[in-house]
Amino acid sequence: MAELTHLDPEGRPVMVDVSAKAVTRRLAVAAGYLELDEAAAEALTRGGGPKGDPWSVARLGAVGGVKRTSDLIPLAHPLAVEAVDVIHHWDPTQRRAWLRVQVSCEGRTGIEMEALAGVSVGLLVLYDMLKAVSHHMSLGPARLLRKEGGKRGLITLPWAGCPWEP
């Protein structure tokens, strides 16, 4: 059975010591969606509003979320992020606004939390952009689709209904 790495033998939270781990190329891809009601969906389809283009601002928010992950998650290591790619997809049938965030770096620890934080913050920004029209929106889920590098190597996690392959 795997042990929780962020707890010491007494059960207290600790930041994992990664100094002995090898530096490897790290990549993580996460995706998630915001489910909208009709009014919010119509506003998103129309595009710009008083706060600007919702998709552009959400994409910037996702990048900001990636960059601030170690500020948001207490035991996450600050990483020197080298690249962030954010793409979006609108599914009008299910009224789901999807975001996909891919993050990469060279480091001693994984970058999955950065990808997940990017998706989450980007979707929260989209919520903020649309809330003037409606608060009837649901956030999530957000999931890891792909992870590369480190001891475990490549991990892919297919998600039925997700517009992107892991």
pLDDT in tens, 20-50: 998 999 999 999 999 999 999 999 998 866 6
The model's pTM is 0.94
Q: Catalytic site residue 8?
A: no
Would you say residue 18 lies in a domain?
A: no
Helical ranges in the chain per DSSP H = 38-46, 54-67, 69-72, 112-130
CATH code for the domain of 130 = 3.30.70.640
Would you say residue 9 lies in a domain?
A: no
User: Per-residue pLDDT tens for 110-125?
Assistant: 999 999 999 999 999 9
Pick the catalytic residue: 37, 85, 91, 128?
128
CB-based burial label for 86 (10 Å; 0-12, 13-18, 19+):
buried
Would you say residue 163 lies in a domain?
A: no
Which domain does 90 fall in, by range? 25-151
N-to-C CA span, the chain:
27
Q: How many domains does the chain have?
A: 1
Task: Please list the ranges in the chain whose pLDDT falls under 70.
Answer: 1-2, 48-51
